């Protein structure tokens, strides 16, 4: 069962305005991963390469959050994903509720450095920022959708 936690979890969801989406929850990053697990860990991240939108979820209350972010960004770059591409990658700071107001304001100000899209601050525990995140996800995903009308002959209905 060692590798069971390395499998991505897929969920079909409807975003707030009804847009259908599939969420793929890949494993979290583990610092100092044993060498024999690195290949299996990277294999789960192949989902990221095919994703229309990547959400880089950070525990902003962790003292090592900056180093962890650098690790994630390096792995994303190795996979060919530019973490600074605000159209494809959304950086989400979770556990914002665990920070005192001064720390929160400082981190948010530092996060808006102009080199990439500003992070979205949320708290999964309190719900703060979740509606904003959902709205941003829906805007990004729905902007990629196209409606097509296809006319098929009766003998072509097997394609449907």
44-53, pLDDT tens digit by residue?
777 788 888 9
21-64, pLDDT tens digit by residue?
888 887 776 666 676 776 777 677 777 888 889 999 999 999 99
Average pLDDT, the chain: 82
Q: How far apart are CA 143 and CA 8, in angstroms?
A: 25
Instruction: Using pLDDT thresholds of 50, 70 and 90, give the confidence band for residue 10.
Output: confident
Q: What pLDDT shows up at residue 127?
A: 96
Q: How far apart are CA 156 and CA 31, in angstroms?
A: 52
Query: If we measure between CA atoms, which residue out of 26, 23, 25, 49 comes closest to residue 138?
Result: 23
Please report, for the chain, the start and end positions of each structural domain, with discontinuous segments joined by +. 4-159
Looking at the domain that runs over 4-159, which CATH code has it been given? 3.40.50.300
72-113, pLDDT tens digit by residue?
888 888 888 888 888 899 999 999 999 988 888 887 777 766
Q: How far apart are CA 92 and CA 107, in angstroms?
A: 13
Instruction: Using pLDDT thresholds of 50, 70 and 90, give the confidence band for residue 2.
Output: very low
Contact predicate 116/122, CB 8 Å: no
pTM of the model: 0.78
């Amino acid at each position: 069962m060692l590798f069971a936690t390395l499998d991505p979890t897929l969920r079909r969801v409807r975003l707030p305005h009804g847009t259908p989406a599939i969420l793929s929850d890949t494993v979290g990053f583990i610092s100092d991963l044993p060498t024999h697990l690195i290949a299996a860990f990277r294999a789960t991240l192949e989902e990221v390469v095919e994703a229309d939108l990547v959400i880089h979820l950070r525990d902003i209350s962790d003292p090592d959050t900056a180093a962890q972010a650098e690790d994630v960004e390096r792995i994303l770059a190795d996979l060919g994903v530019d973490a600074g591409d605000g159209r494809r990658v959304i950086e989400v700071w979770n556990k914002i509720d665990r920070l005192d107001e001064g720390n929160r304001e400082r981190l948010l100000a530092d996060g808006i450095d102009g080199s990439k899209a500003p992070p979205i601050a949320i708290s999964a525990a309190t719900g703060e920022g979740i509606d904003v995140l959902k709205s941003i996800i829906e805007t990004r995903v729905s902007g990629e959708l196209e409606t097509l009308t296809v006319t098929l002959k009766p003998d072509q209905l097997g394609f449907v």
